[in-house]
Every structure is written in structure tokens, then in C-alpha cells.
Chains A and B, each alone.
Chain A
């Protein structure tokens, strides 16, 4: 288009992909320790909204999917189904040790293994309830990855 306006616009869109991060939180059987830490990240003290974060209600509007909790037997199908319904490009961030390895519940009959088995995890934040700052650092890392993914999408 005229003086490569469309390049400028797609450049702006790629840049915006890392500035407006809509979080969608899936609780795959967590003890709610990580859940309250995620929400704590949005409180005035840590204020994830500075990064452009906002909790959304539906996976169709998710950019970063936060998974917490060891993927229990019951939540396995629901996790896979919800992850399938999120539009590309999106990042999967695991919060806490449970989703990465099942933590103390490792090897139990009710656990369906780490989230890695179902989809490649972009960023994982370790800590048995990681501090909100750690979660925000993880989200910042995910934002960078998201920008690459968005750029990769239209190459």
C-alpha cells in the first residue's frame, strides 16, 4: 500500500501483541495457593495491569493461559479442550511446581502428569506458590515469546 503503510500497521500489531496481555487462568486441580498469588499480581502492590494484563472470562479472548495445579484425572480433558479453544498466537505459562512436575503428588494414580505432555509449555514459574513478582517476571518473558510467535504467524 502507499509508502508501506501496511508494513507499519502489521509492525504495530506485532508490537501490540506484547503490550496487551489478556490472562486466562485454568485451575487444573490446584490447592488454590497459586491461584490467589496470580490474583495478587493484579492487586495495587504488584499491579500486573502495567504490563497490560487483564483477567478475561473466556479462552477465546486469551493471550496468556496460566495453568496452576497438577493436571488431575478429572481436569485433564477439560484442560485439553480449553487449550484447543484458544486462538493462536498464545503462550502457555505454568504457575507453581505442580503443573511442571506434579510436586508432592508425583506418581499418584490421580495425576495425569505434567502439562508438558499435552502442549509445549512456553514459560514455567517455579516455586510452591511463586511470589507475585516471579509470576510477573514469567508473564513478561511470555510477552516477548508472544511477539515472536505473532511475527512468525504472518511470515
Chain B
């Protein structure tokens, strides 16, 4: 009769502890250290450069910008929404993010019933760039004044050399 390679191991297994993890009972075991799980978006660091959106293959990100109602004009409130269901967890966005705003955590338990369970959102407040102290006209005027002063100084130096 064909030999039964696993008979021995099968019978000894009967008396050994099963290797099953207790997951549905206990809490989920941690993933491996560098596991690329759910995306965590640190809105404060983000500078809305759009690098992640350009690099994301499944384009699972959407950015919606709207003027911040409280702040000065030109302030923007950009809401980032990462759709976990269409993300491939490749980690490109995390690598390319200059500011390291996007990190992939080790949370892999991403099950949900409605679409909102899978959205990671973040609101980036983008201050309008500080107004330049001088308006362009003032700048032009200051520049002209500086030229004039420089010319006057050279004229005086030339006069002094001649004397």
C-alpha cells in the first residue's frame, strides 16, 4: 500500500497545541514591523505640493481646496481624502512626500460596510503666502532710491579722488 508520509506527524499533532492564533477572540495580532497598512496623513506637515497625487498609480487621492472662511483672503482649506479601497499600499506617496506628511501605519484591519469606513481625510490649512512688505511700486521706488544713493556716493568718491 502506498506509504503514508504524514501519518506519524498527524497522530502526534493530536497531542500538540494547535498553532491557530486566537484572533476573532482576542485582538488582532500586530503586523510585521515595516508593514504598509492604512495611510496616516499628518495635515500639519503637508504643504499641498501635490507630489503624492502625481505619484499615486491608482489615483486614490482627491484634493479639494476651498477658501478658509475665518482667515484672510487667499487662505485655503484643502481636504485630502485617501480612498483605502482603491489604494495599492505601494508606499510611493510616503516616499515622495518631502515633508513626510504621509506615513503607512501597521493597521491592516480595513473592513467596512459603507464607503466612508475606508476614507482617510485630512484638512490642510494653507495660509496665504505673507504679503510682501512693499508693494511692487514701493519696491521700484526703493530700488531707484538705492541707485541714486550709490551714484551720489560714487560721484563724491570721484570728486575726493580728484582732489
Q: Do the beta carbons of A130 and B23 come within 8 Å of each other?
A: no
Q: B residues within 8 A CB of A89?
A: none
Q: Do the beta carbons of A106 and B58 come within 8 Å of each other?
A: yes
Complex partner residue of B20 from A44, A125, A126, CB under 8 angstroms: A44
0/1 string, A123-136, CB within 8 A of B gives 1: 11111101101101
Complex partner residue of A128 from B28, B59, B88, B113, CB under 8 angstroms: B88
Complex partner residue of A127 from B23, B89, B113, CB under 8 angstroms: B89
Complex partner residue of B112 from A45, A106, A124, A131, CB under 8 angstroms: A124
Query: Would you list which residues of chain B between 101 and 120 have a CB under 8 Å from chain A?
Result: 108-113, 118
Complex partner residue of A44 from B19, B87, B112, CB under 8 angstroms: B19
- Does any Cβ of A come within 8 Å of B44's Cβ? no
A interface residues, how many (CB within 8 angstroms)? 30
Q: A residues within 8 A CB of B20?
A: 44-47, 50
Q: Do the beta carbons of A126 and B57 come within 8 Å of each other?
A: no
Q: A residues within 8 A CB of B28?
A: 133, 137
- Does any Cβ of B come within 8 Å of A1's Cβ? no
- Does any Cβ of B come within 8 Å of A2's Cβ? no
Closest to B56 in A: A104
Given contacts A133-B23, A137-B28, contact A124 B85 (CB under 8 A): yes
Chief secondary structure at chain B's binding surface:
loop
- Does any Cβ of A come within 8 Å of B77's Cβ? no
Q: Do the beta carbons of B24 and A140 come within 8 Å of each other?
A: yes
- Does any Cβ of B come within 8 Å of A97's Cβ? yes
Q: Do the beta carbons of A101 and B86 come within 8 Å of each other?
A: yes
- Does any Cβ of B come within 8 Å of A138's Cβ? yes
**Residue picked from A97, A103, A133, most chain B C-beta under 10 Å:** A97
- Does any Cβ of A come within 8 Å of B60's Cβ? yes
Docked CA distance A141–B111 (Å): 9
Docked CA distance A123–B58 (Å): 22
Docked CA distance A116–B112 (Å): 14
0/1 string, B24-63, CB within 8 A of A gives 1: 1000110100000100000000000000000001111000
Q: Do the beta carbons of B24 and A106 come within 8 Å of each other?
A: no
Closest chain A CB from B37 CB (angstroms): 8
Closest chain B CB from A148 CB (angstroms): 12
Docked CA distance A5–B110 (Å): 41
- Does any Cβ of B come within 8 Å of A83's Cβ? no
Complex partner residue of A133 from B29, B57, B87, CB under 8 angstroms: B29
11 A-B residue pairings within 8 Å (CB atoms): A45-B20, A50-B20, A51-B24, A104-B88, A127-B108, A130-B108, A131-B108, A133-B29, A134-B109, A134-B110, A138-B111
